[in-house]
Amino acid sequence: MLVSLNNIIADIGGGVIFFKQIVWQGLTKPCRLQEITDQTWKVTIQSMSTTAMAGFFVGGISTIQFTMQVKQFGALGYLGGLATSGTIREVGPLLIAFMLSGKVGAYTSAELGTMKVTEQIDAIRCLGANPMQELILPRFLGIISSSFFLLVAGLLMSVLGGLLMGIFFAGINVHEYLRHIPTIVAGGSVLSGLFKCFVFAVVLATICTYKGYSASGGAKGVGKAVVNTAVATMVGIVVADWLTSVIGDSVTMVYLGM
């Protein structure tokens, strides 16, 4: 138990130090824009279908759950606003980020881990190049930009999924479903969802690049790095979700003077 706790603390510390190195690298010796664009496009194309499908079903599930509740109070007209607000603020970003952690995080960790154990990263260093600048920074920024875009696209698909479920499951028309979305889904809800999307993207990019870059032990080490990436990313996203929720609620209370 003590050894496991020490490993967890050391892993968190290593991840924080690695994140600081990436930020410092980006501020002092940034990579080329073309490299970031290539990584962004690569990740986006690979994950768009998965994210769209996840977002669609997340929105549909939220609508079904809210339908069971609002019918008891005769407030079916508020279904669209309630389901959309809950999806955008909390459920959507969290579940879609989980999908991306398995798709993007595992792939990036395996790619970097393979380069590490086959000594390709050492070869880059021997040639006088900086692996942090050539490999890590483009992937880090590419994952953040693409993951943020994918999360937003997934949230939009969740609205569509919720709308279709509202029509076929709850039996309401399009106008009735959309009517109360602008009144319930305020600007704060949208900003909260977008902020969560950005934080989750940073957590995902940091963990998968760190785990892949620090892999060792041949093919077995790469597999271990991929598994650790999946577990650490999900735990990190849950913790980040809790922190962003606490911070968001505190800011809202201060703003409202409560």
Would you kindly state where each structural domain of the chain is located, as residue ranges? 33-256
| Residue 202 structure tokens | 């940073």
- Would the CA dihedral through 225, 228, 234, 240 be positive or negative? negative
Answer for the pair 233, 208: CB distance below 8 angstroms, yes or no.
yes
DSSP string covering the chain, please? Answer: -HHHHHHHHHHHHHHHHHHHHHHHHHHHS---HHHHHHHHHHHHHHHHHHHHHHHHHHHHHHHHHHHHHHGGGT-GGGHHHHHHHHIIIIIHHHHHHHHHIIIIIHHHHHHHHHHHHTTHHHHHHHTT--HIIIIIHHHHHHHHHHHHHHHHHHHHHHHHHHHHHIIIII---HHHHHHTHHHHS-HHHHHHHHHHHHHHHHHHHHHHHHHHHT--SHHHHHHHHHHHHHHHHHHHHHHHHHHHHHHHHHHHHHHHT-
- The pTM for the full model equals 0.84
Residue 174 has pLDDT above 70, yes or no: yes
Residue 2 has pLDDT above 50, yes or no: no
Please report the pLDDT score of residue 158 as a whole number. 85
Residue 251 has pLDDT above 70, yes or no: no
Percent of all residues in the chain with a pLDDT value above 70, rounded to a whole number? 94
Nearest to 204 by CA among 49, 99, 58, 90: 99
Task: Provide mean pLDDT across the span 31-60.
Answer: 85
- How far apart CA 169 and CA 217 sit, in angstroms, is 52
Residue 239 has pLDDT above 60, yes or no: yes
Please report the pLDDT score of residue 169 as a whole number. 79
Please report the pLDDT score of residue 206 as a whole number. 92
What does the pLDDT look like over 48-72, one tens digit per residue?
888 888 888 888 888 888 887 777 7
**Amino acid identity for residue 138 in this structure:** P
Please report the pLDDT score of residue 132 as a whole number. 87
Residue 183 has pLDDT above 80, yes or no: no
What does the pLDDT look like over 199-225, one tens digit per residue?
888 999 999 999 988 888 888 888 888
Q: Please, which residues have CB within 8 angstroms of residue 23's CB and are 6 or more apart in sequence?
A: none
Please report the pLDDT score of residue 61 as a whole number. 84
Please report the pLDDT score of residue 249 as a whole number. 65
